[in-house]
Amino acid sequence: MKLSELNEQKEKSVKSPLYRIERKDNLKALIGFSIVSAIVLFITISLFPLLDDVMAQIQKMFEGNPEMQNMMAAAIGTQSITSYFVAQTAQSWAFVGGIYAAYLGYKLVGGNFKDGSYEMLYTQNVSRTQILKHKLIRLAINIGIFSLVNAVAGFIAMMIWGSGQFNVLKYVLYCLFVALMTLQIGVFSFAISTFAHRKYSMMSAILVVMAMYFIVTFALSVESLNFLNAVTPFGLVYVDIFNSTMSAVNIVGLIIWIVVPTILAFLGFKNFKNTDLI
């Protein structure tokens, strides 16, 4: 057997238990966040028949004031299950998903510094690059599972209380947007952790997400500030693609939040590799 093959086999034997520990260590958070988010999603959609009547009364109350009617429609959702899903239900999924992604991004890197396990982890016969690659893959897998659970829960609820009155392909596309937004936040938080190490905390990660959510919510209520949707990935899930075309998607924001986390992650890998951690 060649020396390179021996080294590769040795590296795999070391990485294997580390990978299993990583998967097990993040399993409880995945299950907890997925269940909570899916339940909130399911319950919110189940309230649609009630809020549908409320919205009709509000529209009647502000009859003759189209500006106020449009504002209430944006905040609550019109009387269709799809616009209600975008305005209310998907926002709870996006918010909880954003919190989970930020937490996971921090936990995968910063968590090792908090509990002191970094000394054991980064002195193994495995390159830091390989360890970070695995952690990034774990981030993507967990966010994928989280998104799938919510997408299925939302689909079942939409079929029950929306009587299936929605375009399934557009629903799938919208779910992919929410999953992409969640992944963008996760990679962003992960990248920040590779730079900040001990200085980046779980509270910092969550506060960043809350600030992002506040910005896009504020921008939605003030038309002149719509450009702010591009500075936060949440802008991607405020688009009602059920009742509009793909042209309504903020392409600038989409590109920004694909490029920025990717570049930060790339630079974070290089910085982490060359930084004295021990």
**Percent of residues, the chain, with pLDDT higher than 90:** 33
Where in the chain are the domains? 23-274
Instruction: Say what the alpha-carbon torsion angle 151, 51, 60, 90 is, to the nearest 10 degrees.
Output: -20
Which residue did the predictor score with more confidence, 222 or 253?
A: 253
- For residue 82, give the nearest of 147, 148, 146, 173 by alpha carbon: 173
Confidence label for 91 from pLDDT (cuts 50, 70 and 90)? confident
Q: What is the pLDDT of residue 86?
A: 82
Q: Does residue 63 register a pLDDT over 80?
A: no
174-207 b/e (C-beta count within 10 Å ≥ 16 → b):
bbebbbbbbbbbbbbbbbbbbebbeebeeebbbe
Distance, CA of 104 to CA of 32 (rounded, Å): 12
Q: What is the pLDDT of residue 100?
A: 97
> Could you count the other beta carbons within 10 Å of the beta carbon of residue 28?
9
**What mean pLDDT, rounded, does the chain reach?**
81
Can you tell me the mean pLDDT for 59-63? 73
Distance, CA of 227 to CA of 167 (rounded, Å): 29
Can you tell me the mean pLDDT for 247-271? 87
Q: Give the pair of three-digit tokens for residue 231.
A: 């500075």
Distance, CA of 3 to CA of 60 (rounded, Å): 79
Q: What is the CA radius of gyration of the chain?
A: 21
Contact present, 94 and 237 (Cβ < 8 Å): yes
Q: Give the pair of three-digit tokens for residue 58.
A: 């509000």
The residue ranges of DSSP E strands in the chain, in sequence order, are none
Can you tell me the mean pLDDT for 79-90? 79
Can you tell me the mean pLDDT for 172-178? 90
Q: What is the pLDDT of residue 5?
A: 44
Q: DSSP label at 227?
A: G
Q: Does residue 254 register a pLDDT over 60?
A: yes
Q: Does residue 151 register a pLDDT over 90?
A: yes
Say how far residue 175 (Cα) sits from the centre of its chain. Answer: 11
Which residue did the predictor score with more confidence, 10 or 69?
A: 69
> Could you count the other beta carbons within 10 Å of the beta carbon of residue 252?
13
Give the lowest-confidence range in 33-37, 60-64, 88-92, 184-188. Answer: 60-64
First to last CA, the chain: 34
Q: What is the pLDDT of residue 145?
A: 97
pLDDT digits (tens, 9 = 90+) for 9-37: 444 444 556 667 777 888 999 999 999 99
Q: Does residue 7 register a pLDDT over 60?
A: no
